[in-house]
Amino acid sequence: MNKTLSNFILIVFISALFINCANRGNPEGGPKDLDPPKIIKTEPENYSIHFNGKEIKIYFDEYIKIKDIQKQLIISPPMNTQPEIIPLGNASKYISIKIYDTLPPNTTYAFNFGNSITDNNEGNPYPYYKYVFSTGDYIDSLSVKGNILDAEKLAPDTFVSVMLYEVDSTYTDSVIYKNPPKYITNTLDSVTTFSIDNVKAGKYMLVALKDANNDNKFQQKTDKIAFHKSFIDVPTDSLYTLKLFKEATNFNAVRPQLISGGKIAFGYEGDYKDMQITLKSDVPEGFLSRTTKDVETDTLYYWYQPKLELDSLVFNVSKDDFKQDFVIRLKDNKRDTLVINTNTSGSIGYDQDFKIFGTTPFKSFDTTKIAIIDKDSTEVTFSSAFDTISNTLALNFIKTEDNSYNISVLPETFTDIFGDTNDSLNYKLATPKKSNFGSWRLQVINATYPIIVQLITENGDIRYEKYSTKQEDLDFLNLTPSKYQVRVINDVNGNRKYDTGNYLKKIQPENSSYFEINDPVRADWEQIHPLELLKQ
């Protein structure tokens, strides 16, 4: 073998050796770390008694982060001055809790971290870690347990706070508006059950809040509330069911504003029913006024004519216990003009009224100037109903399958409060084939009558509704194919609507039962669904 060949073989051998070494030295990665961080010590020790320190440290075997601490961390009882907790946003091998509050004697505190503690690299949580200490001789160890329901939804909200208020000589029902609770827990983001732990024996009011402001106080405008019907005594072996509901907002009037000529907007909070708007100023003979409601906002419009040569008007707004005078400064604003609109175009449902409404209040209308003609040129008879508050004329007529209708409105059919009238109007409508729809027969079992039965879309919209006062099959016909939930409401007071609860009046919301129907409504298909209610 010549020298050149020997050198070539040597080079190839060395190259192969380096490649092999390089391959063996390139790691392919081991199994992913799925283990949560471990606590190696705490200062003071967890479940310490006679606590009088100002700082707690919790040490881990690896770097950790704290995430979503505002939602996840629950301190029970709540502290008046929030402690400082680090790290926030950075990685650390320990958690520091600096306490600035003056802690009362003989009290057990619990810091529930939820799933906020994770390792720095993989984000593995240390689930539901709780640090507990007592300023007294022992750790309180009693518990109150239960579950959360929602009065109007199939599933309750997440992050619901559940609270105990101590019933002592200073207790009043208004405490939930003013003071933090004695003990608190939270359902967090994954469960609907709750357990308030480390509770001292005593008498308590049990309350739950979907607390929008995260301040542990009930605010009617923003929060949902649930409460147990009576005080509870701890210790207890009972499991408590709390039903969340949104209270009807107490009525309040917002300062009115002149927004155009002869049109004043009266904003309000709560229910406008029985709201009285009374003009106290002197007005000339022939003065005319009307009140309508805005379709989308909580506003009533007060319309008047003729134009007044006054600087201001004084109104009194009243409802129940609310009474207040308001002064509205008048300006030479341009008034609104009459525009006619309708609730549908192109197609109309079999059970749907055709509605005509105006942007200014109708003073009068003449239904003899309205005609409905079908595709066979046959005149269709109709009845009408006028709703003053929505300023809407509804036309009701029998509709047949796969038919078309022409609705003609002659000029000057409608005259508004300012004397304006409409021009000639024509609308073309059609009904679909019945085979495009499906139907359900619902058989409600164990119901306490009367009941309201609603079909609700996946978005939570009430699409169809029936009312029943006796045991009977309920037929929902001509349903648009889709998936629906069924809600059955026990209408206790028989007013044909769902009534929510009220904390101060100690009224629970009317009972609702939900049914998840797996089969959607199918076109040209009839289905029967038995719905068995739990006996109350």
pLDDT at 24: 41
Domain count of the chain? 5
Q: Same domain for 440 and 423?
A: no
Closest CA to 518 of 479, 494, 488, 485: 485
Q: Same domain for 222 and 268?
A: no
Q: Same domain for 426 and 515?
A: no
pLDDT at 324: 97
C-alpha to C-alpha distance for 470 and 451, rounded to whole angstroms? 8
C-alpha to C-alpha distance for 267 and 29, rounded to whole angstroms? 65
Residue with tokens 């005593």: 202
Tell me whether residue 392 is in a domain. yes
Q: What mean pLDDT comes out for the span 396-420?
A: 97
Last residue of a domain, one of 372, 399, 432: 432
The phi and psi torsions of 9 (rounded to 5 degrees) equal -65, -40
* 331: pLDDT strictly greater than 90: yes
- Write the pLDDT tens digit of every residue in 58-72: 999 999 999 888 888
Tell me whether residue 251 is in a domain. no
pLDDT at 33: 63
Last residue of a domain, one of 389, 415, 432: 432
Q: What mean pLDDT comes out for the span 486-500?
A: 96
pLDDT at 407: 98
pLDDT at 17: 43
Q: What mean pLDDT comes out for the span 424-447?
A: 96
Q: Is 23 or 312 the better-scoring residue by pLDDT?
A: 312
Residue 327 and residue 313 in contact, taking contact as beta carbons nearer than 8 Å:
yes
Q: Same domain for 147 and 234?
A: yes
Closest CA to 389 of 361, 350, 426, 413: 361
DSSP for 451-492 reads EEEEEE-TTS-EEEEEEESSS-EEEEEEEPSS--EEEEEE-T
Q: Same domain for 308 and 402?
A: no
The phi and psi torsions of 73 (rounded to 5 degrees) equal -80, 125
- Write the pLDDT tens digit of every residue in 344-401: 989 999 999 999 999 999 999 999 999 999 999 999 999 999 999 999 999 999 999 9
C-alpha to C-alpha distance for 269 and 322, rounded to whole angstroms? 12
Q: Same domain for 232 and 265?
A: no
pLDDT at 30: 52
Q: How many CB atoms lie within 10 A of CB 142?
A: 16
C-alpha to C-alpha distance for 482 and 464, rounded to whole angstroms? 12
* 2: pLDDT strictly greater than 80: no
Last residue of a domain, one of 99, 134, 169: 134
Tell me whether residue 355 is in a domain. yes
Tokens of 258: 């002149």
8-state DSSP, 115: T
* 206: pLDDT strictly greater than 60: yes
pLDDT at 175: 96
Q: Same domain for 420 and 487?
A: no
- Write the pLDDT tens digit of every residue in 126-141: 988 999 999 999 999 9
Tell me whether residue 334 is in a domain. no
pTM (predicted TM-score): 0.82
Q: Which of 33-37, 348-352, 478-482 has the lowest mean pLDDT?
A: 33-37
C-alpha to C-alpha distance for 226 and 206, rounded to whole angstroms? 9
Q: What mean pLDDT comes out for the span 216-240?
A: 96
pLDDT at 536: 58
Range of the domain at 367: 340-432
C-alpha to C-alpha distance for 77 and 133, rounded to whole angstroms? 12
Residue 228 and residue 240 in contact, taking contact as beta carbons nearer than 8 Å:
yes
Q: Same domain for 362 and 345?
A: yes
Q: What mean pLDDT comes out for the span 511-521?
A: 93
pLDDT at 121: 86
> What CATH number has the domain bearing residue 146?
2.60.40.1120
List beta partners, residue 240: 146
| 141 half-sphere exposure, CB direction, 13 A CA radius | 5
Task: Report the chain's mean pLDDT, rounded to a whole number.
Answer: 92
Tell me whether residue 20 is in a domain. no
DSSP for 328-390 reads EE---PPPP---EEES--EE--TTPPEEEEESS-EEEE-GGGEEEEETTSPBPP-EEEEETTT
Q: Same domain for 439 and 526?
A: yes
C-alpha to C-alpha distance for 303 and 492, rounded to whole angstroms? 38
Q: Which of 22-36, 164-178, 234-248 has the lowest mean pLDDT?
A: 22-36
- Write the pLDDT tens digit of every residue in 271-303: 999 999 999 999 999 999 999 999 999 999 999
pLDDT range class, residue 16, cuts 50, 70, 90: very low
C-alpha to C-alpha distance for 12 and 266, rounded to whole angstroms? 93
C-alpha to C-alpha distance for 145 and 155, rounded to whole angstroms? 19
pLDDT at 153: 87
* Backbone φ/ψ region at 62: left (φ over 0), alpha (ψ -120 to 50), beta: beta
Q: Same domain for 155 and 215?
A: yes
Question: H-type helices in 375-450, by residue range?
Answer: none
| 120 half-sphere exposure, CB direction, 13 A CA radius | 13
Q: What mean pLDDT comes out for the span 149-164?
A: 91
pLDDT range class, residue 535, cuts 50, 70, 90: low
Closest CA to 406 of 422, 429, 387: 429
> What CATH number has the domain bearing residue 130?
2.60.40.1220
Q: What mean pLDDT comes out for the span 477-495?
A: 95
Tell me whether residue 461 is in a domain. yes
Largest separation between any pair of C-alpha atoms in the chain:
131
Tokens of 31: 């199994």
Tell me whether residue 227 is in a domain. yes
- Write the pLDDT tens digit of every residue in 172-197: 999 999 999 999 999 987 778 999 99
pLDDT range class, residue 31, cuts 50, 70, 90: low
8-state DSSP, 100: -
Tell me whether residue 16 is in a domain. no
Cα dihedral across residues 406, 411, 413, 418: positive or negative: positive
Q: Same domain for 453 and 486?
A: yes
* 9: pLDDT strictly greater than 70: no
> What CATH number has the domain bearing residue 297?
2.60.40
Q: Same domain for 125 and 75?
A: yes
Percent of the chain predicted with pLDDT > 70: 93
